[in-house]
Amino acid sequence: MSTQTSIRRTYLFRAMICGIAYAALTFGMKVAIRDMHPQGVLLIAMAVAPALAIIAYFILFARYMMQVDEYQRHRMAQALLIAAGVMLSVSSIMDFLQAYAAQPPLEPFIFTISFMFVFTLAQAVLHIMDRRQT
């Protein structure tokens, strides 16, 4: 197994752990806050706990970007720009709909998760385009 493949597998495994941790913390903290009625610092700590998994993922991603070869880094930067463009466009549309067309605001947390989804989708599309041109 090449170094690059090994780096990718490690990244995917750790990213999966972050995803599972995010889901578990989101669900777990929602139930815990509802049932335990924490107050003060404990409430704040429990409320922000799911965000730690997201932050951990971004740190993991930054490290991965530094480890991969230059072409993969170039492709990931392209996917990031696509995701940022799509999400900022959608966000702008939703803001104007909210401001002038009395649309309800989006559910909380949806922006980050949608960004990750679009980023993953963009990477997949670029990967498929690469394979077609092989």
Partner 1 sequence: MKNRLKVLRAERDWSQADLADRLEVSRQSVNAIETGKYDPSLPLAFKIARVFALPIEQIFSDDDAVQSAAQ
Q: Any contact of residue 26 with partner 1 (CB under 8 A)?
A: no
Q: How far is the CB of 11 from partner 1 (least distance, A)?
A: 13
Q: CA nearest 25: which of 58, 66, 59, 54?
A: 54
Q: Any contact of residue 100 with partner 1 (CB under 8 A)?
A: no
- Show the tokens assigned to 100: 């002038």
Helix, strand, or coil (residue 38) = coil
CA distance 48 to 82: 28
**Chosen residue from 74, 98, 113, 120 binding partner 1 by CB under 8 A:** 74
Residues in contact with 50: Cβ distance below 8 Å, sequence separation at least 6, in sequence order:
22, 25, 26, 29
Is 72 or 114 the residue whose CB approaches partner 1 more closely? Answer: 72
- For partner 1 (CB under 8 A), the number of binding residues is 14
Is 25 or 79 the residue whose CB approaches partner 1 more closely? Answer: 79
Q: Any contact of residue 71 with partner 1 (CB under 8 A)?
A: yes
